[in-house]
Amino acid sequence: MSILDEKFEEFQAGSIEERIKCFKQDGRLFDMIVSQQLDRKILNDIYDITNQLRTISKSKSGSIFIQSLLCHKRAMLYFTQPSSRTFLSFESACHMLGMRTSEIRDSRVSSEIKGESFDDSLRTYSSYTDLIIMRNDMENSAERAAWLLNTWSNRCIPVVNGGSGSDQHPTQAILDIYTLQKSFASQGGLDGKTVLMCGDLRRGRTVRSLSYLIKNFEDIRLIYTAPQSFQMKGDVCEFLEKNNIPFIVETESIDNVISEADAIYMTRIQDEYDLVKGESGKVDISRFTIGLPEMKKVKPNGIIMHPFPRRNEIDVAVDSDPRAMYWRQERNGMWTRAALIAYIFNVHNEILNF
């Protein structure tokens, strides 16, 4: 164990409230690592910036203005776990703001293959960029990267978590809440709604990050719908209990609860994390999918979401139903991620005042 391993272990032994202080600078959000960093004020600010970006970008002069904001900055996309949406939406978001981007998408083509440690690799990447956006299959990897650059390196640049193992995916949760708020705009927003999450809740980082963000809303009720072996882990359930967020667990069938939900958030089985190859395939998930028969039970004002990629959790026949929100949801990712980057680099007031 290196001294860095020891120090990080010491850091991780602290409470989440203590740890997230490390990811702020001058009292502001600096690194985006876990959903627990976000409060309603920050979310509202990010969504105001998102809406303004969408409006300004409609004109050529507006787009040129936005591109001028961070044209002196560079971003690196360090994605060694597969991604379509998160990678492309972050890359588009950076380009929208004028940032030049570089990338590593496979550690076999970096010097990690020669035995360079994660920590040394991170410090090396930070030499050539002003922002690292990262995804990999290691839990807490983004937390380690941000901690390392903030405490051990003299080149302290922001780190954004684009998915850290089966742990967290906070920028997905930001875009999910934006989609929920927009979808329920005429019904008082997300406050007071019932959100059903279905699928691999145990290893799905999107539902974990979304559950943490729900704390910022009033009177939400959660329904976790999955076979027992894919049910939500105890750490998230304890968090909900501590924050008086009511939730129920349904292990038999989505059919039993689907009509109660305002938002239905489907997820795929995360079999890339199987400890024994093929073990997920042995679990019967046939009663945890949505097709046209299930849609008949969904509330008329309800919505269907999915972080994607999907397999067969949602039948493609559902795509043409106006309650299917998942294609809009993925596009919202580009705008909310651009807003987040503008917020981190403190250029958001220029966007809001345009």
Catalytic residues: 85-86, 114, 135, 169
Instruction: Name which position in 19, 73, 85, 144 contacts ligand CP (CB under 6 A).
Output: 85
Instruction: Name which position in 30, 217, 265, 308 contacts ligand CP (CB under 6 A).
Output: 308
Element (DSSP H or E) covering residue 69: helix 60-69
Which structure tokens are listed for 346? 């403190």
Instruction: Name which position in 80, 136, 172, 179 contacts ligand CP (CB under 6 A).
Output: 172
Contact 142, 170 (CB under 8 A): no
Of 9-17, 80-88, 179-187, 258-266, the segment contacting ligand CP by CB under 6 A is 80-88
Q: Which is nearer to ligand CP, 69 or 334 (CB)?
A: 334
State yes or no: residue 349 binds ligand CP (CB under 6 A): no
Of 64-72, 97-105, 189-197, 303-311, the segment contacting ligand CP by CB under 6 A is 303-311
Integer Cα distance of 348 and 354 in angstroms: 10
SS (H, E, C) 167-234: CECHHHHHHHHHHHHHHCHHHCCCCCCEEEEECCCCCCHHHHHHHHHHHHCCCCEEEEECCHHHCCCH
State yes or no: residue 307 binds ligand CP (CB under 6 A): yes
Q: How far is the CB of 141 from ligand CP (least distance, A)?
A: 15
State yes or no: residue 209 binds ligand CP (CB under 6 A): no
Binding mask 125-164 for ligand CP (x = CB under 6 A): --------------------------------------x-
Which structure tokens are listed for 181? 């708020």
Measured in degrees and rounded to the nearest 5, phi and psi for residue 33 equal -115, -45
Question: Can you list the positions of beta strands (E) in the chain?
Answer: 24-25, 28-29, 74-79, 100-104, 132-136, 159-164, 194-198, 221-225, 247-250, 263-266, 303-305
Of 15-23, 84-92, 119-127, 334-342, the segment contacting ligand CP by CB under 6 A is 84-92
Instruction: Name which position in 37, 86, 225, 332 contacts ligand CP (CB under 6 A).
Output: 86
Number of helices (H), then strands (E), in the chain: 13, 11
Measured in degrees and rounded to the nearest 5, phi and psi for residue 249 equal -120, 125
Of 18-26, 65-73, 113-121, 305-313, the segment contacting ligand CP by CB under 6 A is 305-313
Q: Which is nearer to ligand CP, 14 or 309 (CB)?
A: 309
Number of residues that bind ligand CP (CB under 6 A): 10
Which residue's entry shows tokens 């876990």? 34
DSSP 256: G
Q: Which is nearer to ligand CP, 246 or 309 (CB)?
A: 309
Cis peptide bond prior to 309, omega within 30° of 0: yes
Q: Which is nearer to ligand CP, 158 or 170 (CB)?
A: 170
Instruction: Name which position in 83, 107, 251, 253 contacts ligand CP (CB under 6 A).
Output: 83
Q: By the criterion CB under 6 A, which residues form the site for ligand CP?
A: 83-87, 163, 172, 307-309
